């Protein structure tokens, strides 16, 4: 391509985005008006969290709001999911905006007037329930976007789907749910979605900053279970049995060498973690069985497949060498692919994002080893998933309360930028 052609494309693209941003100025007063509502909704959902596949009240609140805006509403998708369809005044493409709805089995320890006091049952245990990952803010932001865009419906050249998704954190054992089930049930069809956008609030990115990355931005995840079968015996005579606890220790140590010694880490990151060990009831009884539960994260599909094979090989051969046997469930219950941002879509929408946050506040970030089932949507249609900073000013990232902890906390002023960015990105995409 000649320099002149490149310059011409740049001028056309830049001019279009300037025009698109200018034509969206009518959104600004609407965004100002809805900000207090977004904060109010977020606080309500934070105080009344619900676990995965159990987001019944959350869904009712969302559906009622969308119906009040005159948006076509579909409920009961993937159990509790809600989808709103806003058809613009002109024909055009279809863009989807997604927010996840579920909370986590965590007892909240943040001193807030709207802190969660909810308890429930998870994996047969009594647990606290807390929005410890910011899904309450995601729902509130998308409700705000729906209100803003519904008020300029006649000017929209296309259709916007608002997808409120249950069970992003993983479904209860034995159930289906989340993005994967929504797709199975046709959420990206009728009308067919051309592109999908999503955001995740981030407690360790400064408020006012947006983090993005083309290609893989979040890792794949596969949980797994290894059951080690030994031979029960009195603790004073281990030679008469097969000790699955010692076998478990050797397997855990050996699994750590898969990433540290067998993966090309200069290519991409990967993680193998054992998060739970169960076995035995007394100090003087060597049990017959030990169970290990863990997670695998990878940012490369080939490395992901390789880790799966090596876990099977390592666990089986270590157990065999010590006279034990193993059963391996991999994946056990959750298996998400890499969250992949379509590079062409990122390049197309980056000027829209910069127009809302300012060039100095839109930052290219490293991929993270957290995982997201937004990845299933992005496998089917081009997707763009980004992080919305919500760390209060003056706080250092290392001091910010982490996600999935009892102390998770965000600066609610971040949500206005979330509404502004998603609203404008949706319109700018349709206008292109």
How far is the C-alpha of 30 from the C-alpha of 35, rounded, in Å?
9
Strand ranges across the sheet with 157-165: 72-77, 81-87, 157-165, 90-100, 195-206, 383-391, 210-212, 362-364
**What is the distance of C-alpha 312 from the center of its chain?**
27
Nearest to 131 by CA among 412, 417, 404: 404
Kindly state the tokens that stand for 366.
Answer: 């490293």
Q: CB–CB of 103/131 below 8 Å?
A: yes
Residue 336 designated active-site: yes
How far is the C-alpha of 426 from the C-alpha of 92, rounded, in Å?
12
Strands (E) in 279-371, as ranges, are 285-286, 289-298, 325-329, 335-336, 339-341, 362-364, 368-371
Kindly state the tokens that stand for 379.
Answer: 């496998």
- The phi-psi region of residue 153 (left if phi > 0; otherwise alpha if psi is between -120 and 50; otherwise beta) is alpha
Kindly state the tokens that stand for 133.
Answer: 């990952």
Q: How does strand 157-165 pair with strand 90-100?
A: parallel
CB atoms within 10 A of CB 32: 12
Q: Considering 108, 169, 180, 412, which one is annotated as catalytic?
A: 412
Residue 412 designated active-site: yes
Q: Considering 336, 340, 385, 429, which one is annotated as catalytic?
A: 336
Catalytically active residues, by annotation: 336, 412
């Amino acid at each position: 391509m000649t320099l002149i052609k490149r310059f011409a494309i740049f001028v056309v693209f830049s001019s279009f985005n300037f025009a698109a941003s200018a034509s969206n100025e009518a959104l600004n007063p609407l965004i100002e008006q809805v900000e207090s509502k977004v904060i109010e909704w977020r606080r309500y959902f934070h105080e009344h969290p619900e676990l995965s596949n159990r987001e019944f009240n959350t869904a009712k609140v969302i559906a009622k709001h969308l119906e009040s805006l005159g948006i076509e509403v579909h409920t009961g998708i993937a159990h509790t999911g809600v989808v709103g369809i806003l058809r613009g005044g002109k024909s055009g493409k279809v863009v989807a905006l997604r927010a996840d709805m579920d909370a986590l089995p965590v007892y909240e320890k943040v001193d807030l007037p709207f802190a969660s006091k909810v308890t429930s049952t998870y994996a047969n245990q009594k647990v606290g329930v807390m929005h410890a990952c910011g899904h309450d803010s995601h729902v509130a932001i998308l409700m705000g976007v729906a209100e803003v865009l519904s008020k300029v419906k006649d000017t929209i050249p296309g259709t916007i789907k608002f997808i409120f998704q249950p069970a992003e954190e993983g479904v209860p054992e034995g159930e289906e749910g989340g993005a994967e089930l929504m797709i199975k049930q046709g959420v990206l069809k009728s009308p067919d979605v051309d592109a999908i956008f999503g955001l995740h609030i981030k407690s360790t990115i400064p408020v006012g900053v947006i983090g993005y990355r083309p290609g893989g931005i979040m890792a794949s995840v596969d949980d797994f279970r290894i059951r080690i079968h030994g031979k029960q015996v009195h603790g004073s005579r281990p030679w008469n049995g097969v000790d699955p606890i010692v076998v478990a220790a050797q397997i855990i140590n050996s699994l750590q060498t898969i990433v540290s010694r067998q993966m090309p880490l200069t290519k991409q990151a990967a993680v193998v973690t054992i998060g739970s060990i169960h076995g035995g009831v007394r100090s003087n009884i060597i049990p017959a069985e030990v169970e290990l539960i863990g997670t695998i994260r990878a940012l490369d599909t080939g490395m992901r497949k390789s880790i799966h094979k090596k876990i099977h090989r390592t666990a089986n051969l270590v157990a065999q060498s010590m006279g034990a046997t193993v059963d391996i469930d991999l994946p056990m219950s959750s298996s998400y692919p890499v969250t992949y941002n379509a590079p062409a879509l990122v390049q197309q929408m980056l000027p829209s994002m910069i127009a809302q946050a300012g060039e100095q506040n839109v930052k290219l970030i490293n991929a993270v080893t957290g995982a997201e089932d937004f990845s299933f949507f992005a496998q089917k249609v081009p997707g763009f998933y980004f992080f919305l900073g919500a760390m209060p000013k003056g706080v250092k990232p290392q001091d910010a309360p982490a996600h999935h902890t009892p102390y998770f906390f965000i600066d609610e002023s971040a949500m206005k930028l979330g509404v502004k960015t998603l609203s404008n990105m949706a319109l700018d995409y349709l206008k292109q």
